Structures are given as C-alpha cells and as structure tokens.
Amino acid sequence: MSAPAFLTLDGVGKDYGTVTAVRAVSLTVAPGEFLGLLGPSGCGKTTTLQMIAGFETPSRGHVLMEGRDLAGIPPAKRGIGLVFQSYALFPHMTAAENVAFGLEMRGVPKAERAKRVAEALAQVRLGHLADRFPRNMSGGQQQRVALARALVFEPRLLLLDEPLSNLDAKLREEMQVELRALQRRIGVTTVLVTHDQAEAMALCDRVAIMQGGRVVQIDAPWQAYDIPADAFVADFLGRSNRLPARAASGEAEAAGHRFSLPPELADRHGEILLTIRPERLRIRCERTAESAPGLDGRVQARLFLGGFWLYTVETALGAFAVMAQNTGATPLDEGAAVTLDWDAHSLRRLEPA
C-alpha cells in the first residue's frame, strides 16, 4: 500500500498571456520523499516550483498539501523553506545572524531564536562557523548557511531551485553528498529543480522529467535512465545510441546486420526504434573463431574521461558512442578496426519524442 500524498499537483497549468509555460502537470510527492523536477531551460520546471511556493498563481488546477488547497495562501503561510541558486546572504551579517534574520522579523523571542539558529547550523555542520561572515566562507559553506536559513523555520516542505549550480564541479559533488545526507537525516519532504541530470539522479528518490511544460516521465532515476519513456528522455538523461531496425520473430535487422531482441520485444514485427546506452556496448579489436558475431566499424574519435574512454565508432548503421572502462591498458587508436556487440537485454524500444 503506497504512502498517502503529502504534496499533490492536480492538473496545474500556467499561462502568460498567449504563452503556456506549464501544461496540466499532475503528480504526487510522498512524505519525506526527495523529488526532482528535471528538464532543459524553458521546460516549465521553475514555474512549477514557483506555483508550489505561492509566488505564481496557477491559471488552472490545484496545489494541495496534505489535502489542503493552497490557493490564496501567501508564501509565508505555507510552511515552506526555499533555497535558490543565489544564496542572497547579507554580507554584513555573520552566519548566525543571517539564519536568525527571518525569525527576528517574525518576532521570535531572542532565547528561542538563539536555540533554533544553533540547531539549524548544527544540522548543516556549521556550528563552528556561526560568527563567520559570508566573505570568509567557501561557496559550499555559504550554500549550507542558505540551507540553514530555510530549515530554521522547521518547514514541512523544502523547495530547492538550482541550489548547487554556482559551485565548481568538485564542490558540487561534495555538496550533493551533504545535501542528500541532510535530507535523509531530517526527513523533510523536498522538491528540487535542476537541469543537471547527474545531480537529479544522484540526489532524488524520483525524477519528474519535463519537456515543453509537460511531465513526460516520473520514475526512480535508474528506471528513467534504463527504461526511458521516449527518445527525448533517452537523450536528455545521458548519451544514447539510436538504432532504427525492422523486427520479426524475436530478431531485428538493420543495414544487413541481424541481432536478437530482448524477450519483451519478441512479438514485435515491422519498423522499430531501439536504443542502447554507450556503457552497454562491448568493443573488441580482435576476432577469433569463438567470437560472437558483431557489428564491424572503425574508431573515428576517442575521448579520455578518467575512469572511462569514450569512443565514437563509425559503422554501417551510423556512428555509435561506446563507453569502455579504463583498465590501464593501451587505448584503441583512432582509425582502428573494431567490432561491437551487446546483450539483447540491453536494448530498449523507444517511442518517438
């Protein structure tokens, strides 16, 4: 039995004059869940977040928290914590003063303020920097102060809008670990807006992938990656290789190359669009009598990614991206003749985007 919804979006849409930014978004978020709104710029994810927060009024549909319609309830009364891309810390205030500011504006007594500020800073592991000014903090520390400022109100819902995009790559990875651990420790229901696929897949329990103002797939990150709803999702969540083919009797044929289909596609006949991820392809440069048949090609380009080599292999079916683990062996040269093969269960059928 599934948990009751904490947050519900029921057919929510938003128009700006003749332009529709969000089209009939419906989804639910369970108590304590970490949901990601993921998509390219202009897909409607930030507008959706702003409607949840109360900064935008839906043109249609309803936003409900624990079954209560939030229409007409101002942002400050919704019990929501907000963290944005810009930390917006007061430079002349210490970390503790920044966290305390909103409580002071609400008339919270001084002793209670001090207690809650100390607890919030401890939650983000910054208690030892309470008296430090933002200019003397790293970007990650400033981001944690912004988180503490949102958490000090003990929100029932935490909204994060591109919170890590200002950090460099290494610090962003470190903050992803911190943020996920914090969310699990506190258990606050969280909605994250991001265009960063890796970030969403690392942090979130589920991702709602948006395109053109619509949610096109809601799934656990690994399910959306492995079983994309359509070609857009497959391409947006990482590199993928398209494979138009003709299916019959459990096999498929493309440009004269025949290969097996996974059992779930055994009954398919006629034109079919398949995809396979680069890491699911095997690449070899030598054939033996025992070698399985494969797709012949030639290395067109190679890119060193540290733990992996990314090869572009030109074949009769077009260019394939192939991800091969860096084992320390000498990499394949550009121009080398190679053969690609794969397991049938690594193939996925795609609906056109």
Q: Which of 67-71, 161-165, 328-332 has the lowest mean pLDDT?
A: 161-165
- Name the β-bridge partners of 273: 244
- Which pLDDT belongs to residue 1? 44
> What pLDDT, on the 0 to 100 scale, is given for residue 287?
61
Strands 19-29 and 282-284 turn out to be unpaired
Mean residue pLDDT across the chain: 92
What single letter denotes the amino acid at residue 271? E
What's the whole-number mean pLDDT along residues 147-174? Answer: 89
pLDDT band at 255; cut points 50, 70, 90: confident
What pTM value is reported for the model?
Answer: 0.89
Name the percent of the chain in helix, strand, coil, to the closest 5.
30, 35, 35
Give the whole-number percent of the chain exceeding pLDDT 70: 96
d(CA 165, CA 57): 26
pLDDT at 292: 60
Give domain limits for the chain. 7-235, 239-349
pLDDT at 333: 95
pLDDT tens per residue across span 111-132: 999 999 999 999 988 999 999 9
**CB of 48 closer than 8 Å to CB of 12:** yes
239-349: which CATH architecture?
A: Beta Barrel (2.40)
Task: Please give the average per-residue pLDDT across 16-31, as a whole number.
Answer: 96
More confident residue, 25 or 76: 25
Q: What is the pLDDT of residues 77-113, one digit of tens each?
A: 999 999 988 778 899 999 999 999 989 988 899 999 9
What pLDDT is attached to residue 53?
96
Domain 7-235 in CATH 3.40.50.300: yes
Q: Are strands 337-341 and 295-304 parallel, antiparallel or unpaired?
A: antiparallel
**What is the average per-residue pLDDT within 304-312?**
96
Where do the DSSP E strands lie in the chain?
7-16, 19-29, 34-38, 60-65, 68-69, 80-83, 157-161, 189-194, 206-211, 214-219, 241-248, 251-254, 257-260, 270-276, 282-284, 295-304, 308-315, 318-325, 337-341, 348-349
pLDDT digits (tens, 9 = 90+) for 48-65: 999 999 999 999 999 999
Would the pLDDT of 164 be above 90? no
pLDDT at 210 over 90: yes
| Residue 272 pLDDT > 50 | yes
